[in-house]
């Protein structure tokens, strides 16, 4: 044990127990991962961006391939969580299986990006969810005042938008400071409302034929001064893939990074490994169940939406929205929830669509806090950052100091975002997470059964399964890594996916160069701290020879 120090050496771990409580049940983990996926948000992206960015793609086949790749990845997360049920997620896995510097850099990348996304996704509660609710009501009731308000709400620096977002970000920190049980109750409500919204959307798409949709669209397009159905379908011919020589098969593989935006994200319960009840079953239900259920909803909604609205209509709206056509997009929203509201002609359905999207988005700031604070807790236990971050409230069983720190940091960044959102609209956290957090988890899964210090952990974990003598976790890791490289390639070369933005050098700087600069900064930071701790008589190498305390 690391507590058996050599003479003169100080204790390695911050203390002998985290103070966290294992109170997350399997359905808590499933809801947690649902909300991190934001299935409603993911469905909107897939339906709009899938055929829009890659108009010749077989979207359904691309989504099926994406789901299979993500199943492999979530098996890696579940197996590693089962083997190492501790808070901190990829930091614990990668630092123990590969190298502590890589573990810190991988996790650091995630934390940095989630400071950004706490602001961005927190703002979407208003600029997406509330805006669509108000805008839909405006169109259904032919109320231009509400349509105008929806337009105002779409700007992150609008006083109403900023005030609501700031309240969401700050209250998320307060909620988590009061204990995990409070958060679990709120997330259950949000997930249930979001799932009801999807079920209703599925039902309305399934019962609305294309000719009925054309009639409804033309009616409201005339009110808003937007293009009618046939003109929008005609505009689809103006939309092509970024590389015009890419055929249908290459474009179909391009659906992988679009599906990745949602189906690769039911991993979040791994950050909460130290708070999962019956970690083995809870991890697999939370991670694998998230992919399966998410894929069913995403693929079903895509097929039904394409059948009701028509593939070329969706492509045409994409072209109009981004200015690829002579016709401007004239409706207050381009997402599927808005189309559902139009088809229903019901204010109640519109309110449900807006409330459901708010439900899918409302927990994002809280999720950022959960990951950030559990990462900081794990770093502090291994003595990489001051022990102040590792303080856990005896009453609430929450990392109270870390929550306070990230509440201040996330709020400050929200102010920066509100003042500069036009430069950050296309930032892509996916490339950084894919080539750091996700990639190194895959590599950790590959080597888990073979490394000298992790082999005993693997053999005692209950996930020791093999196919023709090869550990299943290793096979899943290999598939996941290959899948990631395909996604990373598309993010690198196609500016429409946000990372390598052809149109903005600032976006390209942050999505590519800043991302990797932060990774190597974290690696350098690890070695500096290692040297500094050794001068204090603390050999932090000993910490990585075992799992941190529970």
DSSP string, 497-534: GSSS-TT-HHHHIIIIIIHHHHHHHHHHHHHHHHHHHH
CB atoms within 10 A of CB 336: 27
* Conformational region of residue 504, where left means phi above 0, alpha means psi within -120 to 50, and beta covers everything else: beta
Report which of 547, 541, 272, 523 is spatially closest to residue 383, judged by C-alpha positions.
541
Token pair of 548 as six digits: 């941190």
> What is the spatial distance between Cα 36 and Cα 32, in angstroms, rounded to a whole number?
6
List beta partners, residue 24. 276
Q: Distance between CA 541 and CA 452 in Å, rounded?
A: 15
Q: Read off the pLDDT of residues 188-209 as tens digits, 9 standing for 90 and up.
A: 999 999 999 999 999 999 999 9
Distance CA 264, CA 220 (A): 36
User: Is 6's pLDDT higher than 50?
Assistant: no
What six digits make up the tokens of 480?
Answer: 């996941």
Measured torsion, CA atoms of residues 234, 239, 435, 486, in degrees rounded to the nearest 10: 90
What residues form DSSP beta bridges with 272? Answer: 87
CA pair distance 448, 442, nearest whole angstrom: 10
The token pair at 542 is 């000993």
Beta strand 470-471 with 466-467: parallel, antiparallel or unpaired? antiparallel
Q: Which value, to the nearest 10 degrees, does the dihedral of the CA atoms of residues 158, 160, 163, 164 take? A: -120
Q: For residue 114, name the pLDDT band (cuts at 50, 70, 90).
A: confident
Mean pLDDT of 112-132: 89
User: For the ranges 15-19, 363-367, 489-493, which has the lowest average pLDDT?
Assistant: 15-19
Instruction: Inform me whether the pLDDT recorded for 346 exceeds 60.
Output: yes
Statement: residue 167 has pLDDT above 80: yes
List the beta bridge partners of residue 467. 470
The size of the chain, in residues, is 550
Q: What does DSSP assign to residue 234?
A: H
CA dist 138 and 148 (Å) reads 8
Residue of 488, 402, 446, 521 lying closest to 88 (CA atoms): 402
Would you call 287 helix, strand, or coil by DSSP? helix
Other beta carbons within 10 Å of 303: 16
Mean of all residue pLDDT scores within the chain: 88
Query: What CA–CA distance (Å, rounded) separates 125 from 358?
Result: 5
**135-to-126, 129, 185, 233, 333 alpha-carbon distances in Å:** 12, 10, 30, 23, 7
User: Which of the 8 DSSP states describes residue 548?
Assistant: P
Contact 304, 206 (CB under 8 A): yes
Instruction: Provide mean pLDDT across the span 438-449.
Output: 95
Q: What is the mean pLDDT of residues 32-52?
A: 91
Which helix (H) or strand (E) segment holds residue 100: the answer is helix 100-124
The model's pLDDT over 364-381, given as tens digits with 9 standing for 90+, comes to 999 999 889 989 998 988
d(CA 535, CA 477): 38
The DSSP output letter for 208 is -
Residue corresponding to tokens 């609430």:
396
With the CA atoms of 476, 479, 484 and 486 taken in that order, what torsion angle do they form, in degrees rounded to the nearest 10? Answer: -170
The pLDDT value recorded for residue 537 is: 87
Half-sphere exposure of 457 (CA within 13 A, CB side): 26
Write down the architecture of domain 26-545 according to CATH. Answer: Up-down Bundle (1.20)
**Residue 240 in this model has a pLDDT that exceeds 50:** yes
Helices (H) and strands (E) in the chain, counts: 24, 2
- Rounded to an integer, what distance in angstroms lies between the CA atom of residue 369 and that of residue 271? 11
Where does the pLDDT of residue 518 fall: very low under 50, low under 70, confident under 90, or very high at 90 and above? confident
Distances (CA, A) of 362 to 169, 258, 365: 9, 22, 7
| DSSP string over 324-383 | -SSSPP-SS--SHHHHHHHHHT-HHHHHHHHHHHHHHHHTHHHHHHHHHHHHHHHHHHTT
pLDDT of 234 above 90: yes
| Eight-class DSSP state of 9 | P
Residue 328 makes CB contacts below 8 A (sequence gap 6+) with: 320
Domain boundaries of the chain, sorted by first residue: 26-545
Q: What is residue 259's predicted lDDT score, i.e. its pLDDT?
A: 94
In whole angstroms, how large is the CA radius of gyration of the chain? 24
* Nearest residue to 377 via CA among 13, 77, 12: 13
Model confidence at 358, pLDDT cuts 50, 70, 90, reads very high
Copy the structure tokens of residue 238: 């103006």
Residue for token pair 């679009």: 258
The end-to-end CA distance of the chain, in Å, is 14
The pLDDT of residue 19 is 58
Closest CA to 261 of 360, 136, 376: 360
Question: Phi/psi class of residue 329: alpha, beta or left (left: φ > 0; alpha: ψ in -120 to 50)?
Answer: beta
User: Average pLDDT of 227-235?
Assistant: 95
């Amino acid at each position: 044990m690391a507590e058996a120090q050599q003479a003169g050496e100080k204790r390695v771990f911050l203390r002998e127990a985290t103070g966290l409580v294992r109170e997350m049940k399997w359905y808590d983990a499933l809801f947690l991962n649902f909300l991190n996926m934001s299935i409603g948000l993911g469905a909107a992206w897939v339906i709009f961006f899938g055929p829009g960015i890659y108009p010749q793609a077989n979207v359904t086949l691309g989504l099926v391939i994406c789901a299979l790749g993500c199943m492999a990845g979530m098996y890696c997360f579940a197996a590693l969580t089962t083997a190492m049920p501790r808070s901190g997620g990829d930091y614990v896995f990668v630092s123990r299986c590969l190298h502590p510097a890589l573990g810190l850099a991988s996790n650091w990348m995630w934390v940095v990006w989630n400071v950004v996304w706490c602001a961005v996704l927190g703002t979407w509660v208003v600029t997406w969810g509330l805006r669509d609710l108000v805008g839909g009501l405006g169109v259904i009731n032919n109320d231009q005042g509400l349509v105008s308000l929806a337009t105002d709400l779409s700007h992150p620096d609008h006083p109403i938008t900023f005030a609501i977002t700031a309240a969401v970000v700050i209250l998320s920190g307060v909620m988590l400071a009061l204990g995990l049980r409070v958060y679990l109750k709120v997330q259950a409500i949000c997930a249930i409302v979001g799932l009801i919204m999807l079920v209703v959307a599925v039902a309305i798409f399934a019962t609305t034929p294309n000719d009925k949709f054309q009639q409804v669209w033309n009616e409201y397009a005339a009110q808003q001064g937007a293009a009618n159905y046939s003109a929008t379908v005609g505009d689809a011919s103006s939309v092509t893939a970024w590389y015009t020589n890419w055929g249908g098969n290459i474009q179909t593989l391009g659906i992988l990074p679009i599906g990745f935006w949602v189906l690769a994200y039911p991993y979040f319960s791994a950050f909460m490994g130290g708070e999962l009840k019956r970690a083995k079953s809870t991890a697999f239900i939370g991670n694998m169940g998230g992919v399966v259920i998410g894929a069913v909803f995403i693929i079903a909604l895509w097929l039904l939406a394409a059948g009701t609205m028509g593939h070329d209509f969706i492509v045409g709206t994409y072209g109009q929205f981004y200015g690829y056509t002579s016709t401007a997009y004239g409706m207050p929203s381009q997402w599927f929830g808005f189309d559902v509201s139009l088809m229903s002609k019901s204010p109640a359905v519109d309110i449900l669509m807006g409330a459901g999207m708010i439900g899918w988005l409302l927990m994002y700031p809280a999720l950022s806090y959960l990951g950030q604070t559990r990462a900081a807790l794990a770093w502090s236990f291994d003595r990489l950052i001051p022990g102040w971050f590792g303080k856990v409230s005896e009453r609430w069983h929450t990392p109270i100091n870390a929550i306070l720190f990230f509440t201040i940091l996330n709020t400050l960044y929200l102010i920066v975002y509100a003042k500069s959102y036009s430069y950050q609209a296309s930032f892509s956290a996916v490339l950084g997470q894919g080539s750091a957090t996700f990639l190194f988890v895959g590599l950790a899964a590959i080597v888990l059964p073979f490394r000298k210090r992790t082999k005993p952990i693997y053999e005692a974990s209950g996930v020791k399964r093999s196919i023709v003598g090869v550990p299943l976790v290793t096979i899943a890791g290999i598939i996941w890594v290959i899948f990631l490289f395909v996604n990373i390639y598309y993010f690198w070369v196609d500016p429409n996916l946000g990372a390598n933005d052809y149109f903005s050098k600032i976006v390209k700087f942050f999505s590519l160069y800043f991302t990797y600069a932060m990774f190597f900064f974290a690696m350098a930071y690890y070695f500096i701290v290692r040297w500094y701790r050794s001068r204090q008589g603390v050999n932090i190498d000993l910490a990585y020879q075992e799992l941190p305390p529970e």
